[in-house]
Amino acid sequence: MASLSLAPIKPLILTRTIEAWSDRPYIPEAVPIPATVVREPAMVAPYTPKKDGPKIIQQKFDNVFVEYKPVFDNLKSHRLSDRYHVGKGSRLFMQDALDSDSPALDRQVAGICVRGSSGSGKSLTCARDLLEHFGVLFTCPTGAHGGVFADDAVGRGSHDMQTALEHLEQRSEFKEITTNPGQADTNISLVKDFCMSLLVSRLAVIRKVLDSQPADLSSKERKRDCGIVQLDPTLFCSTPGHPDIYERLLRVLRFASPYACEWLLNHYWEGLCSDYPDLVEDCPLFIDEAQALASKFGSVHFLSASNRNKSRPLLTPVVENLMKPKIFTRCVISGISLSPKIFDVALQSTTARLNARIVELTMADGFFDKAEQRRYIVHKLRPWADEIGISEESFDYLVVRMTLILRGRYRVTTCCCELILRTGTKSPHRFLTAFVLRLGGFFLTDGGKFESAESALSKREEDAINATGQIIDWDMFEEFDQDTKRCIFEMVTRLAIQGLYTALDGDQKRLIEVGIGHLTVSKIVTPRVVPEGPVIATNNAAPDDGADEANDIDDDIDDDIDDIDNDDDSDDDDDNGDTTSEPSVTVNAATDANDPSGAGAVYLTELLTVSAVMARYPEKVADTLLQGMRLGLNNSMNGFAYEPQISYVAAKVHGHRDKFTSLGNLYQFHKEVAFLAKLQVQLVAMFRGPDSKWRATQAGPGFGPSPQMGFKANSPKELLEHLKDGGATCIINPDIFHGGDHIKFYKVKGSKHYIMVVDQAKLSAGKDGKLRPEMLEKALQANDPRRYYKPKGSSKKRKWLVKEGKEILECLKEMRNAEDIDSNNTYDPALLPPELTEENFPHTVCGFALAGTAHWQAPAWFVSEMHRRLNRPGQVPALMLSEPFEKHLGPSWRFATTAQNEPVRPLGRMEGSATA
């Protein structure tokens, strides 16, 4: 059954008495004074209306409640929890952030910071937790309110916070801090007043709701009903668009004295503790869309309590004053780009009092983690897989593939699942490959034996995929100015090659607002009846021509797939079909809300956006990589720019789909092992599934298991987490303790073995234009496999530099035994050089990428020393050639790498110029 809502209640027509309007100050008429009497004007203080006490405020509250009597009477015989169902688009709970199911641990958490991109499920997460506990939720004004209930027709809470802020700004005492040091305390006092008013109005309504509920209601149902009346204040909105009950009570409290607010707060809370002790045992505070408060009144209205020279945003005193009455056991703050540092100060006293901690929950990409996305896919597709008879092994592998390429993206994952259900395809692996190729121009190569065993897609299935528009609206993209496009190319390059963020300024962040990722589905696909399977909702890009709607739409609220809040995506519909816009760009939470420039790190969250840009502008990646070296101020900066160039060139030389190329196209070997240059190799990406088995598939620009070809680790822990999470990148930039700068794997034509290549990059030259011997010596020392994660010295005395070192090397060893899921290679020793045997097969190649001289040539002593030190069974050294760099990065690459080493003649005075 579809979700129900209570019918709008018509307002009662009440006869108002003079007392009912007592909130207006009474001003008597002026008494005329005889003209013969002359009086000097008396010096009197300006008129200040008298503040109302607790009894008068309670009387006015009762007058407001009378108008809503039909609603409260309805609660006596109906359970709101039976009429409302929170959507199950995301299975997030706050317990996921606590790493424990213990209620005791849950109550030890002073604060939880929920941050993530628009549409990632932050509001839904807060709503679900509110309904599980007896708490209070405030939604900050952002200009848009998406739904959290299944029918998506109800807002995310009252606008009372906005009303309170508007009243705060209207207060004449609320001013900027200039030369008056006491103004900060005045502003804090005013914030305290409006926070107390917010709490009083919420507790008053909650108390009224509890008193109106049936006596046989369980504690769980009472909690849910108290949450529903906060999430859907339209229950108490007599006329659409008019103030709800919370705003009405706030207006009454404008004329309440501070004593009255404090008395009423204690009165309501003590009553709840006395009459409903089981409800108030765990009472969290939720502040949703908190980024609105984190950027309001930042630098001129409030000062830090610990450091009076440091400003703080409005969010800090709001949290501080809402937590002061000791009502709430913890605080949950949700918002886009919200850093926990913003509210850390506000929770310091709470943390010390509760001996509790602060937990940060990141939901940057729509799902909490890969495990949650996997649960979602299994929940959606399991009935369909059982119906058509897909094997367990094939289905599990399909889920692995989807979590790799649709990493964390809720709406794209949903769209793919729904198209599979609608078409009822019996070739899901081929379907996924075609779906990704259509959206992002990226060819998936990880289908393996399952895809090759499936039949070709039908015409109807191809039409369903082709009806899905590309991930980027290129007409919108072309309207960007050149500077904005350049930023996009930089973001794409950094993410694809190394998985890094890009710093943008405030103006360039408009990318987030306009969006460069769009998912469009035209209404041309005939719907199909899917037994036991939900279909996509119209506001989530469902292909639907309206036929057989009764059979096609599953009205079961529990199966609705678009229950997650859509934030600002409701204005993207056009005449050609439904459009879903999920931001492909996200501001990192490290952004400082107090920074007026708005500068911060930004990263792409949609891998298909990366592949789409690279497919349309392949030359821009090379230009971006070269530009980094052109702008380098010294050799050190050029060295950092050189490393991603190596990854790109390696992918261009050996990353060809269904094609092997000679290892000698990129590497030069010592004459004793020169035959290794004849090996036919292909770059592969390694990934691991839930079964802990490593698999390998061909990868390169435009194809592979993921458009992100590289991953740069900042620490051993981060590298280990990347490997354990599944990898799926073909080039790894390990941390500084490893020794090498790049790790990649090659499959060898005719062999069952993989070659692991570890490259060491050195860009340096002396004043004479030659490579410096000390730098070459450091390169030899760093790229010795015996030194990976270990210091120099005898092997018996060497210890691990970091605790993760041993586990990382064991993981890399496991990757050498990965399963080759491609069908483009067979074991045939005849295809290998005759000099190659099992004993001298190079499982590890220690590569050296040297640059910095105009006429590149490695010293003879380095080649000999390199071979003497590193040529051992199963291991050989090699030099990386420079010609491929000039081929793929352009002829100017040579000049860019040597510009810092060329002698520069200082400009002299021009002839005939005037002397100083």
362 burial level (CB within 10 Å; 0-12, 13-18, 19+): middle
For residue 37, the tally of other CB atoms under 10 A from its CB is: 6
Residue 664 identity (one-letter amino acid): G
What does the pLDDT look like over 8-20, one tens digit per residue? Answer: 322 222 222 223 2
Give me the phi and psi of 409, to 5 degrees please.
-90, 115
Q: What is the pLDDT of residue 473?
A: 74
- Local structure of residue 769 (DSSP, 8 states): S
Q: For residues 867 and 878, give the distance between their C-alpha atoms in angstroms, rounded to a whole number.
A: 8
pLDDT at 455 (0 to 100) = 94
Q: What is the pLDDT of residue 120?
A: 60
User: 818: closest CA among 842, 843, 783, 786?
Assistant: 843
Is residue 322 classed as helix, strand or coil in its secondary structure? Answer: helix
Q: What is the model's pLDDT at position 313?
A: 79
pTM score of the predicted model = 0.60
pLDDT of residue 332: 85
For residue 700, the model assigns a pLDDT of 93
Within 10 angstroms of residue 715's Cβ, the number of other Cβ atoms is 13
Question: Which residue carries 């261009």 as its tokens?
Answer: 652
pLDDT tens digits for range 576-622: 333 334 445 544 333 333 444 444 455 566 788 888 888 889 888 88
**Parallel, antiparallel or unpaired: strands 667-668 and 727-729:** unpaired
Q: Please tell me the distance from the alpha carbon of residue 500 to that of residue 713, in angstroms, as a whole number.
A: 10
Please spell the DSSP secondary structure of 254-311, one letter per residue.
TTB-HHHHHHHHHHHHHHHHHH-TTTTTS-EEEEESTHHHHTSSTTTS-B-SS-TTSB
When computed from its CA atoms, the radius of gyration of the chain, rounded to whole angstroms, is 33
Q: Quick one: pLDDT at residue 119?
A: 56
Which two structure tokens, joined as six digits, stand for 453? Answer: 């065993």
Distance (Å, whole) CA 230 – CA 127: 10
Query: What is the predicted pLDDT for the residue at 557?
Result: 22
Cα–Cα distance measured from residue 912 to residue 907, given in angstroms and rounded to the nearest whole number: 15
**pLDDT attached to residue 74:** 84
Residue numbers in the chain where pLDDT is lower than 70:
1-49, 81-110, 115-121, 142-156, 179, 233-234, 236-241, 295-299, 304-308, 336-368, 501, 503-605, 630-636, 765-769, 792-798, 853-857, 896, 898-916
CA dihedral 144, 159, 224, 201 (to 10 degrees): 170
At 200, which helix (H) or strand (E)?
helix 183-212
Backbone angles phi, psi at 555, to 5 degrees: -85, 0
Dist. CA 65–CA 205, nearest whole Å: 9
CA dihedral 158→160→165→168, nearest 10 degrees, is 180
**Between β-strands 754-763 and 742-748, what pairing exists: parallel, antiparallel or unpaired?**
antiparallel
Helix axes of 773-782 and 860-870: crossing angle, nearest 10 degrees: 20
Q: Give the contacts of 788 (CB within 8 A, at least 6 positions apart).
A: 738, 739, 740, 805, 809
Structure tokens at 115: 């941050």
Two structure tokens written together for 551:
């059979």
812 — phi, psi (to 5°)?
Answer: -65, -35
Asked if 661 contacts 654 with a C-beta cutoff of 8 angstroms, the reply is yes
Which are the contacts of 550, defined by CB distance < 8 A and separation ≥ 6? none
Let me know: does 353 contact 106? Beta carbons within 8 Å. no
Contact by Cβ (8 Å): 431, 425: yes
Tokens 């992002």 correspond to what residue?
Answer: 440
Give the whole-angstrom CA distance, residue 334 versus residue 287.
6
Vertex 208: Cα angle to 205 and 209 (nearest 5)? 85
- Which burial class, exposed, middle or buried, applies to 677 when counting CB atoms under 10 A from its CB (0-12, 13-18, 19+)? middle
pLDDT of residue 25: 32
The β-bridge relationship of strands 819-820 and 844-851 is unpaired
- The Cα 375–Cα 363 span in angstroms is 16
